[in-house]
Amino acid sequence: MTKGPISSFIENHYLHFNSAALVDAAKGYVTHLNEGGKMMVTLAGAMSTAELGKSLAEMIRQDKIAIISCTGANLEEDIMNLVAHNHYKRVPHYRDLTPKDEWELLEGGLNRVTDTCIPEEEAFRRLQKHIHKIWKDADTKGERYFPHEYMYKMLLSGVLEQYYEIDPKNSWMLAAAEKNLPIIVPGWEDSTMGNIFASYCIKGEIKPSTMKSGIEYMMWLADWYIKNSSGKGIGFFQIGGGIAGDFPICVVPMLYQDMEMDTIPFWSYFCQISDSTTSYGSYSGAVPNEKITWGKLDINTPKFIVESDATIVAPLIFAWILGW
């Protein structure tokens, strides 16, 4: 593959320390795919609001990703950006905001994520209007789906096209829906749509069982992993940490230890982009070798860690993989 200007710049200038680790991780990702491996990408933090979709969507279209695990926030916020982008407000001097300033943002219907404010009406309530109907229809019919499957139904129905405010090719959720890409959403309840769904359950409008659970996600992932881990195996590309990473990576020790499947392969590539410090005792800050003790990675699994800001690093790694 001929390298584009971004990849050429990286190759010529990213030669040491974290920048060199970025290149090593990107090359390892490409090697893994070239040798017939598949890749899971996990999304923590606010990567959708950071507009990672500009590169992630193309990664999905080019089959560089086999499965995604993400938080409920990342699942919904990519679609919010798709339908309400022009109503977002950037606050570059967010560190200077007073409590009164923050209250005024709330009263103005703006929910702040660092320097970016998501509009309540045009984003949250616009999606609520349409997703509620899909939830309700399933509930009435006695059907049950995963959180991402309801989002896919909404996207593929075309009902949101009237609101598009960005080029749809930059929406990773739309790209995933068109591919029917497998997605795992652990802890989906910890999201705005999860809160909204809970409110309908409390009001007695929808049954909680209409939404498939996190346990069912793990059961589905276990079956998927068994069917897809032969040969080169499945790699694990972790953006940030948290539940989006720890939930799916644990499918391997669960199968190996709890299901007593002694021949189940370990994850066959591992990369983490994180700014967490290992001494704090968090999963997000755990170095790759610690995962060997939990039965997640093998001694010989290629392991990379880029200790930097994922909003900077992830698009550059994806650019390298795509040859941009």
pTM over 0.75: yes
What is the reported pLDDT for 289? 87
pLDDT at residue 27, as a whole number = 98
Q: Which has the minimum average pLDDT: 47-51, 232-236, 237-241, 288-292?
A: 288-292
Segment 39-59 mean pLDDT: 97
pLDDT, one tens digit per residue, over 191-206 is 999 999 999 999 999 9
Average pLDDT, the chain: 96
Beta-carbon neighbour count of residue 208 at 10 Å? 12
Mean pLDDT score, 38-61: 97
Give the side-chain half-sphere CA count within 13 A for 104.
Answer: 6
Bridge partner list, 119: 110
pLDDT value of residue 99? 98
Q: What is the mean pLDDT of residues 224-240?
A: 97
- Provide the pLDDT confidence category of residue 287 given band limits of 50, 70 and 90: confident
The domains located in the chain, with CATH, are 5-90+164-190+211-322 (3.40.910.10)
Interval 265-284: pLDDT, tens: 999 999 999 987 777 777 77
Q: What is the pLDDT of residues 157-168, one digit of tens each?
A: 999 999 999 999
pLDDT above 90 covers what percent of the chain?
94
Q: What percentage of the chain exceeds 70 in pLDDT? A: 99
Whether pLDDT at 1 is above 90: no
pLDDT at 209 over 80: yes
Residue 24: is its pLDDT beyond 80? yes
